[in-house]
Amino acid sequence: MVVVGMLSSVERLLAEKGVEAGVEAVVYFPVRRPEYVVLVSRLRQGVKVLREPGLHVYLVDKSDFVDDVYNSSYAEVFAHRLLLPHTVVKGEELMQILEKTYRRETVRQLLKDLVAAHKYAAVNLVVEPRYFLLEKVRRIVETFPLLRSDFSNILLDERGFEDAASELVSEGLLNRVDGGYSPTLEAVKKFEKLSVLSGLEPLRRINLIKLSKLFSLLVFEAASNLSSQSPTLPDPEQHIHLRTSRGLQPLSKQLDIMEFVREYFGEEGHVKRVGGLFNSTYVIEVGSEKLFAKRYMSWTDVKWVAARIWTAWIKDFSINPSTRLAKEIYFLDFLRGHGFYTPEIIHVNWRDKILYTTYVEGETLLDAWLEKNPERDVFAEEVGHVLASVHRVGGRLGDCKPESFIKTSDGKIFITDVEQASFDGDPAWDLMELIFYPGHYLEADEAASLAEHVVKGYANVGDTGVIARCLKTSYVRTMSLWTPPWVVKEISDRVKHFLKA
Q: Are residues 13 and 73 in the same domain?
A: yes
Q: Are residues 371 and 334 in the same domain?
A: no
Residue range of the domain that includes 121? 104-206+233-241
Q: How confident is the model at residue 154 (pLDDT cuts 50, 70, 90)?
A: low
Q: Are residues 490 and 369 in the same domain?
A: yes
Give 415: exposed, middle or buried? Use CB within 10 Å, 0-12, 13-18, 19+: buried
Give the CATH number, domain containing residue 326: 3.30.200.20
Give the CATH number, domain containing residue 390: 1.10.510.10
φ and ψ of 293, to 5 deg = -125, 140
Contact 387, 421 (CB under 8 A): no
Q: Which residues contact 3 (CB under 8 A, 6 or more apart)?
A: 28, 87, 89
Q: Are residues 367 and 501 in the same domain?
A: yes
Q: How far is CA 188 from CA 44, 111, 170, 172, 300, in A?
A: 43, 9, 16, 11, 26
When divided into structural domains, the chain yields a total of 4
Q: With 80 as the cut, is the pLDDT of residue 292 above it?
A: yes
Closest CA to 201 of 72, 114, 69, 107: 72
Q: How confident is the model at residue 468 (pLDDT cuts 50, 70, 90)?
A: very high
The pTM of this model reads 0.83
The CA dihedral of 392, 395, 398, 399, to the nearest 10 degrees, is -80
Point out the least confidently predicted range of 115-119, 260-264, 382-386, 403-407. 260-264
Q: How far apart are the C-alpha atoms of 331 and 138, rounded to whole Å? A: 32
Q: How far apart are the C-alpha atoms of 447 and 115, rounded to whole Å? A: 42
Q: With 80 as the cut, is the pLDDT of residue 442 above it?
A: yes
Tens of pLDDT along 168-209?
999 999 999 988 999 999 999 998 876 555 555 555 555 544
Domain boundary among 359, 379, 407: 359
Q: Are residues 311 and 392 in the same domain?
A: no
Mean pLDDT for the stretch of residues 113-139: 92
Q: Is residue 369 part of a domain?
A: yes
pLDDT at 137: 87
